[in-house]
Structure 1
Amino acid sequence: MMGALSLAYPFSRVTATKVSEAQAKPNNGFPSFLPKQVHTIKDPFARNLAMRIHRLPVSVKFSENPIMSSCVKPLMIQNKANPVVLLHGFDSSCLEWRYTFPLLEEAGFETWAFDILGWGFSDLAEKLTSCDVVSKREHFYQFWKSYIKRPMILVGPSLGSAVAIDFAVNYPEAVEKLVLIDASVYTEGTGNLATLPRLIAYAGAYVLKSVPLRLYANYLTFNDISFSTSLDWTNIGRLHCLFPWWEDATVDFMISGGYNVISQIRKVKQKTLVIWGENDRIISNKLAVQLHCELSDAIIRQIPDCGHLPHVERPASVVKFIIEFVQRETKLVNQCVSAE
C-alpha cells in the first residue's frame, strides 16, 4: 500500500530543530490515556502513530481548566518552512493519518496531526458547555496560537475540509494554504438530526459507534479491502468512541447543527489543492469540479481506483500531490523575486 516515495521537500533539513526524544517517543509503548483496546490493533502503522500521540494543555473560553488536547507532534521543527497540519474527518482521530504522516515526515515536512474537539483522544472528562462548531474552532485556534504559531498548510479530508474552510475564513492569518481531500462541504450541517430529542440522539450515537455500522462504512469508503483488514480498520476508527465522554460530545455536536460552510467557500482566499478519489461512493467526484470552480485560487487532482479517503488508500499519491503543490508555489515565488 505504501509504495516508494523519493520526492524531496524543497526546504533544507539543516534549518530544522529536533524535538527531544522524551517528547517524541513515549517510553512505555502506548500512552496510558489511550483506551486499552489499542493493544488489539494489528496495523503496524496505526500502532506506531498511536505511540506518538500526546496531550497538550489548551486554554479556551468555554472551559474553566485547560483541555488536555491530543495530537501527534513533529519530530522536527522547521525554522523557515511553514508546517503541515492534518485534520481528520467526521468522528475520527489522528490515526486516520497512519500511512500518510510518516511519508510527509520522510519528505521533510514539519507535520502535525490534530484531533478536532469532541473526537480523537483529548481528555473531556470535565464536561464542556458545548462541543459545537464555534467551540471546535476556538479550541483549534488556541492550539495553533499556543504551539504552532505560524501560518500552516492545513489539510482536511471529508468533513475535515469543512473544518478547514471554516477555520481559514475566520482566521486567515493562521492558514497559508489549504488542501481539501474528498471534501464534505455541501451538506447543510447535521440536518434533521439537530431536531432529535436527546434520548433518540443518544440512541443514534450508540448505533454510530457499533461495529456493524463501522464495517459498512468501510465497505462504502474503500475499494477492495479484505474483511480482516476492514475489521482492524474498524477497531482503529472507533477507538476514540470508547471514551466515556464520547456520546455526550457526539450528541452535542449533532443537535448543535454541525458544519454548514456552503456560503464560506467563495470567501476562501488561500491557494487550495483539491484532491479526490475518482471512485468515491460517499461524495461524488462531480462535486470536486464544483468546488474547484467556486474556490478563488485552486487546482484539482483526482486519483484513479481510489475511494473516499485517499490518504488511507493511496497515501503516496496524496503526498506526491502535496509536495508538487508546495513546490509549485515556491517556484512561482522564486521566479517573481528573480524577475524583480
Structure 2
Amino acid sequence: MQLLLTSSSLPALQLPSAALAKARVRVAASAAASAPDGAGAAASGTSAGRFPVFLPQAVERIRDGAAVRLAKRIERVPVQTGFLESPILSSCVRPLKQQQDSDPVVLLHGFDSSCLEWRYTYPLLEEAGLEAWAVDILGWGFSDLETRPPCDVASKREHLYQFWKSYIKRPMVLVGPSLGAAVAIDFSINYPEAVSKMIFIGASVYSEGPKDMTRMPKFVSYAGVFILKSLPLRFLATRLAFNKVPTEFFDWVQIGRLHCLLPWWEDATVDFMIRGGYNVINQIKQVKHKCLILWGEDDGIISSKLGYRLHQELPDAILRQIRQCGHIPHVEKPREAVKHVLEFLARNKSKGSNRAPSVPSVPVNS
C-alpha cells in the first residue's frame, strides 16, 4: 500500500476589492479566540467555552491552542442527500458572517483527516476578510455517521454538493490538500457551476486508488484500517509529512488521529477503500477553472515533480513552491501558504494590481 498516511492524505477565495488592498493578517496567539464559542450551540451540540459534545473525549488532552480554539467552533449541520431518507448531521466550521461581495473559500482536507487540519490557516484567512468554511468530507472528520451511509466517491460528491446547495449557495473557491485535490477535481467536473476557482496543496491526483483492496476480503480490509489508526503508524506518517520534526509532534499526532476514535470511522474508511477510491487522472485536463498549485519543495509523501506535471496539464494554473516545507504547507508554514493564496486571489480579482496583504511574523500555533 502506498504510504500516504498523514494527517492530510493517503494513496491529495474573492476578496472585496477595497478590503484586498488593505487587508492585513493580524493573527497572534489569541486571534482565533475572538470567535464566540457558543455560536450555533443549539444546533451543533456545543456550549460556550466547551468542546462540542460529539467530539471524542480525547480532545481534552490536546494542548495545541489553535486546535483547541478551532475544535470549539466545530458544529454539525443537517445535509439531506438522495441516498439516505434522513439528513446527515455533517461537521464543519463555518464563518462568523457570510459575505455577498466575494466568493466563499471552502477548505477540504486530505485522506483520513478533518477540518482541524486548518487550525493555523483558518484564522489567518478569516482575519484577512475571507468568508472561510472548513468542511469535513463524508466518511472522515466528525460527522454523525451512525446510519453508516455509503462513503464511496459518488456519495462524497453528492454530500458536498448538497452541503454547498444548502449553506453556501454561491460559486466557491475550493481548496483541496493532498487527496482533497482529487475530491475538488471530481466535484468541479460534475458541478462546475458551484466552483469559481481552485487551490491545490500537495495534490494527490495521480493515484489510481486502492485497487488491491477492492479484491480483498472485508476482514483483511478491516485489519489494514486498524493498523492505519495505530499510534506507531501515525507517528511514522506524521514524521514523513514534515520537513523537520515539530516541537508539537505528539500533539499533532493526536490531532490527526482524533476523528478515528468515532465508532463509525472504521466502517466508513473500509467502505471507501473497497469501492476503489478516487481516480481523476483523466479528468485533470477537463478542469476549466483558474487554479493555484502549492507544493512543499521537500514533500516526502508526494514528489514535488508531480506539481510540475499538474501545472502542465491544467489549462489555467500557476505553480508556487514553498521552500524547506513538507507535504502539508498549511500546517507547517501557514503564513507562507496564506500569502500565496492572497496573491492568487488578488491577481484574479484585479488585473491592475498584483499586490496582496502582508502576512505577519507573529506565531499562529500557540
TM-score (norm 2): 0.85
Matched ranges for 1:238-277 at <5 A:
238-277=257-296
Letter in 1 for 2:288: K
Structure 1: distance between partners of 2:37 and 2:57: 24
Letter in 2 for 1:62: F
Question: Which string of whole-angstrom CA distances, capped at 9 and with x for unpartnered residues, describes residues 196-240 of structure 1?
Answer: 1100000011000111100000111012224x6221111100100
Q: Show structure 1 runs of 5+ residues with no match.
A: 1-7, 14-18, 336-340
Aligned residue for 1:178?
198
Note if 1:231 corresponds to 2:250: yes
Q: Show structure 2 runs of 5+ residues with no match.
A: 1-13, 20-34, 42-46, 355-366
Question: Which string of whole-angstrom CA distances, capped at 9 and with x for unpartnered residues, describes residues 19-48 of structure 1?
Answer: 988536741410011011100001000000
Structure 1: distance between partners of 2:82 and 2:339: 39
TM-score (norm 1): 0.91
Note if 1:23 corresponds to 2:44: no
Aligned residue for 2:325?
306
Aligned residue for 1:131?
151
Matched ranges for 1:9-48 at <5 A:
10-12=16-18, 22-23=38-39, 26-48=47-69
Aligned residue for 1:338?
none
Secondary structure at 1:70 match in 2 = strand
Structure 1: distance between partners of 2:325 and 2:346: 24
Structure 1: distance between partners of 2:189 and 2:230: 35
Structure 2: distance between partners of 1:255 and 1:333: 50
Letter in 1 for 2:61: T
Letter in 1 for 2:64: D
> Are the equivalent residues in 2 in contact too, given 1:53–1:70 (CA < 8 A)?
yes
Note if 1:80 corresponds to 2:101: yes
Question: What is the percent sequence identity of the aligned residues?
Answer: 60
Q: 1:197 to 1:80 in 2, by over 3 A?
A: same
> Are the equivalent residues in 2 in contact too, given 1:11–1:108 (CA < 8 A)?
no
Q: 1:12 to 1:69 in 2, by over 3 A?
A: farther
Structure 2: distance between partners of 1:306 and 1:108: 26
Between the two proteins, the alignment pairs up a number of residues equal to 321
Matched ranges for 1:1-340 at <5 A:
10-12=16-18, 22-23=38-39, 26-128=47-149, 130-226=150-246, 229-332=248-351
> Are the equivalent residues in 1 in contact too, given 2:51–2:72 (CA < 8 A)?
yes
Secondary structure at 1:201 match in 2 = helix
Aligned residue for 1:4?
none
Letter in 1 for 2:351: L
Q: 1:220 to 1:329 in 2, by over 3 A?
A: same
Secondary structure at 1:192 match in 2 = helix
* Misfit runs of 4+, over 6 Å: none
Secondary structure at 1:76 match in 2 = coil
Structure 1: distance between partners of 2:283 and 2:352: 27
> Are the equivalent residues in 2 in contact too, given 1:24–1:73 (CA < 8 A)?
no
Structure 1: distance between partners of 2:70 and 2:143: 15
Structure 2: distance between partners of 1:242 and 1:321: 34
Q: 1:304 to 1:9 in 2, by over 3 A?
A: same
Secondary structure at 1:42 match in 2 = coil
Structure with the larger RCO, 1 or 2 (CA within 8 Å, 6+ apart):
2
Secondary structure at 1:154 match in 2 = strand
Structure 2: distance between partners of 1:139 and 1:154: 15
